[in-house]
Amino acid sequence: MYTAKNYMTNGGDTTVIGGALIIEEGASVEGMTTATIVDALTSDDAAKALSAKQGKALKTLVDAKYTAANAAEATAGLVKQSANVALAAGEAPTKAEFDALIAALIAAGVMAAGA
């Protein structure tokens, strides 16, 4: 008894490929978008696709350009979220409450430490 590895089901709506599918030179496949692979980041041909090598090179360039450093007084950057500081207990904050806020801002990198 022979069992076919490649067969059609669902009245021909589904083709199951259990073996190799070989598309010979000159044949065409309809309904699929294909693109020639290009190995150059400077190509502007919209009908071509970047190679994996060039995709990796592009990712490296993007990562290097957009890796933000910590913020400084004159430079924007990344900062951590500040620790939660309790609201002042009374109408006017105490020195301890104010100092806790300043310490949290410094620890998060939002404010430079004092001299």
Q: How far apart are CA 66 and CA 72, in angstroms?
A: 17
Is pLDDT at 9 greater than 70 in this prediction? yes
Task: Please indicate, yes or no, whether residues 17 and 53 belong to a single structural domain of this protein.
Answer: yes
Q: Please tell me which of 19-23, 37-41, 68-72, 99-103 the model is most confident about, judged by mean pLDDT.
A: 99-103
Task: Please indicate, yes or no, whether residues 17 and 49 belong to a single structural domain of this protein.
Answer: yes
CB contact at 8 A, 36 and 47: yes
Q: What local confidence, expressed as pLDDT, does residue 98 receive? A: 93
Looking up tokens 């502007």 gives 44
Is pLDDT at 1 greater than 80 in this prediction? no
Is pLDDT at 72 greater than 80 in this prediction? no
Q: Share the mean pLDDT of the chain.
A: 86
Give ∠ CA 81-90-92 in degrees, rounded to 5.
80
In a domain, 18, yes or no: yes
Tokens at 31, concatenated: 């309904």
* pTM given for the model: 0.39
Task: Please indicate, yes or no, whether residues 58 and 94 belong to a single structural domain of this protein.
Answer: no
- 87 alpha carbon, distance to own chain's centre: 38
Task: Please indicate, yes or no, whether residues 54 and 103 belong to a single structural domain of this protein.
Answer: no
pLDDT tens figures, 32-66: 877 888 888 888 888 888 889 988 988 888 888 87
Range of the domain at 99: 69-115
Q: How far apart are CA 76 and CA 109, in angstroms?
A: 11
